[in-house]
């Protein structure tokens, strides 16, 4: 198995199901989003540029979506913490996914790349 597959499979429930659902949502937002294994975590790239990633918060023990250019987005539910560039969206794996908020953040982040504000490789 590939490391990225093992990452998902080794997560306990309900975190595993939550991460797999988030993965599916992110990949379905645009055909140019590709999943890669970088820095020992699942990363999502848009046209070759790092775009988002999935991880589990050490303090809150919840999965989250990390938005690479999150500092350019202004949503009250995105946490900056001690990051200079990225922001995260915590997801409670025991609750229904906040689909509208997830898609809103992903699409707003995508617009940074699609408009050329963030340069892509193609």
CATH code at position 105: 3.90.1150.200
In a domain, 41, yes or no: yes
Q: What mean pLDDT do residues 53-71 have?
A: 96
In a domain, 119, yes or no: no
For residue 122, what pLDDT is reported? 64
Does position 117 have pLDDT exceeding 90, yes or no? no
| CA 70 to each of CA 8, 14, 91, 102, 107: distance values in angstroms, whole numbers, following the listed order | 24, 26, 16, 13, 12
In a domain, 51, yes or no: yes
Query: 10 Å Cβ neighbour count for 62?
Result: 15
* Whole-number average pLDDT of the chain: 94
**Tokens (6 digits) for 82:** 């001690």
In a domain, 121, yes or no: no
In a domain, 13, yes or no: yes
Residues 76/3, Cβ–Cβ less than 8 Å: no
| CA 64 to each of CA 5, 60, 106, 120, 121: distance values in angstroms, whole numbers, following the listed order | 18, 10, 13, 24, 26
Angle ∠(40,112,61) on CA atoms, nearest 5: 35
Q: What domain count does the chain have?
A: 1
Q: What mean pLDDT do residues 89-113 have?
A: 96
For residue 119, what pLDDT is reported? 84
Helices (H), ranges, 29-114? 99-114
Domain ranges, residue 18: 3-114
């Amino acid at each position: 198995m590939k490391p990225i597959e093992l990452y998902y499979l080794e997560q306990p429930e309900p975190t595993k199901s939550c991460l797999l659902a988030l993965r599916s949502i992110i990949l379905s937002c645009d055909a140019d989003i590709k999943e890669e294994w970088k820095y020992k975590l699942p990363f999502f790239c848009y046209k070759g540029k790092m775009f988002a990633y999935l991880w589990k918060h050490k303090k809150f023990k919840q999965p989250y979506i990390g938005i690479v250019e999150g500092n350019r987005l202004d949503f009250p539910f995105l946490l900056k913490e001690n990051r200079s560039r990225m922001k995260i969206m915590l997801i409670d794996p025991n609750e229904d996914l906040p689909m509208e908020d997830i898609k809103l953040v992903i699409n707003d982040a995508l617009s940074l790349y699609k408009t050329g504000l963030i340069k892509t490789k193609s």
